[in-house]
Amino acid sequence: MTTGRIQVLRASERPASPWLNGGGVTREVAGFPAGAGLNDFDWRVSLADVASVGPFSPFPGIDRVITLVEGSGMVLTVDGVERSVDTPFRPFAFPGDATTDCRLLGGEVVDFNVMTRRGRTEAAVDLVTEPGAVQVPPAATVLLVCLTGSAAVDGTELSRYDAALLDTPGTHRLRPDGVTAVITFRTATTTSATTS
């Protein structure tokens, strides 16, 4: 049974925003509240083309999950500790307020970014390759992003990097032909669990 509403967000309608340091471009997939800037979002999801090495911009009070989508990967130095992000579709979580530098391993990469405001919103990031039901719990929002191939949500076709926003409780049928990210956003349950 299919219930709930679907808002389709096409990749072809997504503008690219150059980084201030010239190291790449970011395309925002979705955010909440709608139209919020970098200082006042509850959550934000984007795809970034990383073209050169350098520091990540700091995001105080933000938790981040980054996932390699294309390319050989990168090494992130997070508060002095090196972490390899070189396996596609393996999410890596780190605090946005950490001092973070990036070194590319073999040319440009595309990464998938999920950012949430600590103490306000929490996100669970799952990478799905098999058909199944997607449940939108009460008081939650689910964002589907087709990262490779294509996908169908209740019969609505998504091409690569298209997204579907599900913001009313209900059950949806997802049929990925490739890898689709399923991100579930909920109101944070505690304000004491920080990772910085």
102 & 40 share domain: yes
99 & 183 share domain: no
Q: Is residue 58 part of a domain?
A: yes
Confidence (pLDDT) at 4: 62
pLDDT beneath 70: ranges in the chain? 1-4, 20-22, 190-196
Determine the length of the chain: 196
Domain-terminating residue out of 65, 99, 117: 117
Domain-terminating residue out of 63, 85, 117: 117
Confidence (pLDDT) at 52: 80
51 & 104 share domain: yes
Q: Is residue 54 part of a domain?
A: yes
40 & 63 share domain: yes
CA nearest 112: which of 185, 54, 26, 178?
26
165 & 101 share domain: no
90 & 182 share domain: no
Q: Residue 51 region, left (φ>0) first, then alpha (ψ -120 to 50), else beta? A: alpha
Find the Cα–Cα–Cα–Cα dihedral 92, 95, 98, 101, rounded to 10°: 30
Q: Is residue 96 part of a domain?
A: yes
Specify the pTM: 0.91
Domain-terminating residue out of 117, 137, 166: 117
- Residue 136's φ and ψ, nearest 5 degrees, are -100, 105
Confidence (pLDDT) at 3: 53
Confidence (pLDDT) at 114: 98
